[in-house]
Amino acid sequence: MKITNNLGTPAIGPSDPKNSKPLSGNEFKNFLESQIQSVSTTAKTGAAAKVAALSIVPAALRIEGLSVAEATINSLESLGTALSNLQLPAEDLAPLVEALEEETGSILDLKGKLPAEDPLARLLDRVATISYVETAKFRRGDYQ
């Protein structure tokens, strides 16, 4: 049975199996230990870099970002509840939409203070996108 590398991962070991000799038990053990060491070193370095990047952002900024995101999500839920009430005229939805627009601006300001790879920045971007889409739908007349 022939085993091929279909996953696109780099081959480990000698690159030309025809010209290489089999590894003895001790050589294989050394080779395996070196591969494990290189993988664990890379993993530790990547995790350390992520932790270092997260520690740069002040805690107050993180708390403020989470609070604004939560408030925006609550406003989105309020808008959704109001939209489900078919007796409510579209003009009564305007204060909810204006609040969403203000919260979207706040989210974008906070997102600009965070590093791009920060998980909170990605969360704020998603919440701002949804909020913007809903306010644009209202302004366009989709809910009237």
pLDDT at 54 over 70: no
pLDDT 10s digits, 75-101: 999 999 998 988 888 888 899 999 999
Residue 72 resides in a domain: yes
Residue 131 pLDDT: 95
- Higher-pLDDT residue of 50 and 137 is 137
Q: CB within 8 A of 114, min separation 6: which ones? A: 57, 61, 65, 120, 121, 124
Residue 109 pLDDT: 93
Q: Give me the residue label for tokens 């998980």.
A: 119
| Parent domain of 129 | 58-140
Residue 6 resides in a domain: no
What is the biggest distance separating any 2 CA atoms in the chain, rounded to whole angstroms? 81
Residue 32 resides in a domain: no
Residue 131 resides in a domain: yes
Residue 68 pLDDT: 95
Q: Which helix (H) or strand (E) holds 18?
A: none
> Among 131, 80, 79, 84, which residue's Cα sits nearest to residue 105?
131
pLDDT at 72 over 90: yes
Number of domain units in the chain = 1
pLDDT 10s digits, 31-42: 778 888 877 666
Residue 9 resides in a domain: no
